[in-house]
Structure 1
Amino acid sequence: MKESWRWYGPLDRISLGEVAQTGASGIVTALHEIAYGEVWPRAAIAERKAGLTAAGFDWVVVESLPIHERIKRNDGDLSELFANYRRSMANLAAEGITTICYNFMPLLDWTRTDLAAPVANGGTCLRFSAPRMAALELYMLGRDAARNDYPADVIKAAERWFQASSDADRGELMRSVMSGLPGAYDRYDADGLKTALKQYEGIDRQALRDNYKQFLEEIIPTAEELGMRMCVHPDDPPRDILGLPRIVSDADDIAWILGAVDSPANGLTLCAGSLGANPDNDVPAIARKFASRIWFAHLRNVRKDADGSFEEAEHLAGDTDMVDLVAALLQEEARRRSAGEMQWEIPFRPDHGHELLDDAARNTHPGYPLVGRMRGLAELRGVVASLSHPRHGSH
């Protein structure tokens, strides 16, 4: 497995020199400074790649080449947006970058209500509080339909939190929810979010699926021609929020996506944390079921509460059996090698780490500290080494 690291380019407060000290050899990055829907120029891609190469890294995965919201909504004439996306793909392939991680989450990317929840031995983590999310939906956005989306006890807890909260508390909640958007993209206040949500009125689960299938039909043939692998990232959290449908949340969703355009170029990013936040998901089993279409892996863990809340756990200590999951990925790599497949190695990165030691002082992108992720990478490296050892492992 290829040890990799998410790096935000010029926006990142962690230098490539510091990343090198973690031991990772692959970089997962994107041209975050380019707005959604615009073409990524080949010259800009080449410049970023040259900088990574000079620092001793391979650019192994693009995360991500974003999909414009109009495509998700099937809003108007999309021909230029699809053409721009294909041109960006061609420019990436021309520079030898052939794996693209993307998501099809409407409006918001990963969503958390707390960016610095305390953990037992010191440090902080990202957390999704179902009561706080319900408070935002019901009392800050006035979305009464959300009462059908949460259990009665969560709604009561949401009301208690809202009544006790200050303007600063509510502002911090909105800032936390907006922080999942990477790069320099739109953030919303409550009124702005209400306006943005109106654009999705009438788009239910089936409509979003139809729009996603259209995207796949437009893009996957180009990926095949270019020798590229598209790998969708699961929804985070894997449930509807803000009245927006989520359609990449479990094994059934993944099976539908991979079958919608049945091609090796239409693949999966196996995100253990996103899938693991759904109590019905057996993540190692999902990995084994779709192993041949996994082109990238995010390895992190979550700890779930009964009310639907969850938080980032230590990489080896959450609800998902991480050792079994890594074993499943190594088994797939072994199968690919035996079959003589050229692209047999699965790049992975340690996802969302705890903020530890001096991480908080760095003010990095939420969920992407240096020390916390380095600890996760070291733990995962140990699992891979143990499972791969000829005397003790089977891979």
Structure 2
Amino acid sequence: MKMVFRWFGEGNDTVSLDQIRQIPGVEGIVWSLHDVPAGDEWPMDKIMEVKAQADKAGLHLKVVESVNVHEDIKLGLPSRDLYIDNYKKTIAKLAQVGVKVICYNFMPVFDWLRTDLHKELEDGSTALFYEKGRIDNIDPYELVKQINENSSLTMPGWEPERLQHLTKLFDAYQGVTEEHLWENLAYFLKEIVPVAAEHDIKIAIHPDDPPWPIFGLPRIITSRDNIRKMLAIVESPYNGVTLCSGSLGANPNNDIVAMIHEFKDRIPFAHIRNVRVYDNGDFIETSHRTQDGSVDITGIVQAYHDTGFEGFARPDHGRHLWGEKCRPGYGLYDRALGIMYLWGLWDAFSRQAERKEARA
């Protein structure tokens, strides 16, 4: 397991590269060009700027999250070929700076979805919260306003310049079914995967967050069966999944440990985080500790260890602790604590395996 840490760039993150490199075992950053609109080809000078920053801190930039997929690709419009061509050109450029994994998602309109960015937990910390009843009744336009208010930092998946066209986006998706979305994903993968393979870069789809339809929009990367279906579209080690325990874990029916064992050869990137799921469908993000949520983080880390996972992993969303002012879900303290918890589990399983081998 190779530990990495998401970083949003100079001037766009409250966490510095100097702080990241002091977290034990972290060897690289997970990055993106957040000011480049979805569908545009990434400029080489901006890529090299991030590389210089990472090199100076002694961190690699082998994982990109995300090269966003333009809505026209998801909608299957004739214009998609232009945006797919730009995606291919971006892949070639990223290979030049040593990128090995590109995370992306295929969620219509919205990326992750929450109703409260700072819901207070019992200990006084705050975290991202999803209230099912509110989502069932809220106007999506009001939610967009709420997500972006009082934020001087970019909110991935909630870019105002894109969501200001929300009415047009919803109109465009009228009549688009899950079947249509699968067809459009297949078209994209069959175009992209050969190019990614040529450049030795694995592309890894992120599950839908949360893993069910919202506001009448279809979502397809939601379960073990659907991940299996996606991987079968292009049978290649370069067509993979970013297995996110938090996204999938919002649905208690998802057996993430079983997924790790089944898809072990197709998981180049892992997001590890915990959520507490309530009977009414609400969920809140918690510390990474297994006992604090509903997701079997201990079992997940053991599954990665026992399957010989050599991919990249990062602690996903963390709580907001000790008065830290940060991008919601992306502070320093709780994610650093999460890393140490994950390493503790990993080291314990390694020691256990060593003792078992010594006795054999």
Normalised by the size of structure 2, how large is the TM-score? 0.91
Secondary structure of 1:18's match? helix
The one-letter amino acid paired with 1:358 is G
* 1:113-152 aligned within 5 A: 113-137=115-139
- Residues 1:38 and 1:130: Cα distance change in structure 2 (over 3 Å): same
Mapped pair 1:382 → 2:344? yes
Alpha carbons of structure 1 residues 353 and 393: separation in structure 2 relative to 1, 3 Å = farther
Query: What displacement does 1:286 show?
Result: 1.1
Q: CA deviation at 1:185?
A: 5.1
Mapped contact 1:60–1:347 kept (Cα < 8 A): no
Please give the secondary structure, in 1, of the residue aligned with 2:327.
coil
1:133-212 equivalent positions in 2, closer than 5 A = 133-137=135-139, 172=146, 181-182=156-157, 184=159, 186=161, 188=163, 193-212=166-185
User: Is 1:353 the counterpart of 2:318 in the alignment?
Assistant: yes
1:171/1:264 CA distance change after superposition, 3 Å: closer
The question of 1:332 aligning with 2:307 is answered: yes
The alpha-carbon deviation at position 68 of structure 1 amounts to 0.4
Letter in 2 for 1:355: H
- Bigger mean CA deviation after superposition, 179-188 or 264-273: 179-188
- After superposition, give the CA deviation of every residue in 1:132-177 in whole Å (9 maximum; x if it has no partner): 111214xx77xxxxxxxxxxxxxxxxxxxxxxxxx9x99537859x
Shift of 1:276: 0.4
Amino acid at match of 2:14: R
Deviation at residue 391 of structure 1 after TM alignment:
4.4
The question of whether the paired residues in 1 share the 8 Å contact of 2:148 and 2:155 is answered with no
- Tell me what 2:58 maps to: 56
Q: Structure 1 residue 229 and structure 2 residue 230: aligned?
A: no
Inter-partner Cα distance in structure 2 for 1:249 and 1:393: 37
Q: How many aligned residue pairs are there?
A: 350
Tell me how far 1:32 sits from its aligned partner.
1.0
8 Å CA contact retained: 1:231, 1:266: yes
Contact 2:148 2:160 in 1 (8 A): no
Amino acid at match of 2:232: G
2: CA distance, partners of 1:394 / 1:37: 51
CA contact (8 A) 1:116 1:126 kept: yes
2:329 corresponds in structure 1 to: 367
Task: Show CA shifts across 1:280-303 (max 9, x none).
Answer: 101111111111100000000111
Partner of 1:70: 72
- Separation in structure 1 between the aligned mates of residue 20 and residue 158 of structure 2, nearest angstrom: 19
Aligned partners of 2:110 and 2:158 also within 8 Å: no
CA shift for structure 1 position 54: 1.0
- Indicate the structure (1 or 2) with the bigger Cα radius of gyration: 1
- Offset at residue 196 of structure 1 (A): 2.5
Structure 2: distance between partners of 1:291 and 1:180? 31
- 2:279 matches 1:306: yes
Residue among 46, 65, 69 paired with 2:48: 46
- Corresponding residue for 1:18? 19
Matches of 2:251 and 2:162, distance apart in 1? 26
**1:186 counterpart SS class:** helix
**Is 1:296–1:347's contact at 8 Å kept on the other side of the alignment?**
yes
Of residues 98, 103, 109 in structure 2, which corresponds to 1:96? 98
Residue type at the aligned position of 2:314: R
Matching residue within 28, 31, 50 for 2:30: 28
1:180/1:13 Cα in 2 relative to 1: closer, same or farther (>3 Å)?
closer
Aligned with 1:8: secondary structure? coil
- Cα deviation, 1:196-224, whole Å, max 9, x if unaligned, reads 21111110100011000000011011111
Segments of 5+ residues of structure 1 without an aligned counterpart are 142-166, 335-344
Residues 213-252 of structure 1, C-alpha deviations (whole Å, 9 max, x = no match): 0000110111111111001100000000011111000001
1:57-112 C-alpha deviation (Å, 9 max, x unpaired): 01120000110011001122322111110000000012211210110011111100
Q: Give distance in 2, aligned partners of 1:170 and 1:132.
A: 14
Q: TM-score, normalised by structure 1?
A: 0.83
Cα contact 2:211–2:251 (8 A) shared by 1? yes
Change over 3 Å in CA distance of 1:195–1:42 after alignment to 2:
closer
1:286 to 249, 259, 263: 259
Residue in structure 2 matched with residue 2 of structure 1 by the alignment: 2
Using the alignment, how far apart are the partners of 1:208 and 1:262 within structure 2?
A: 19
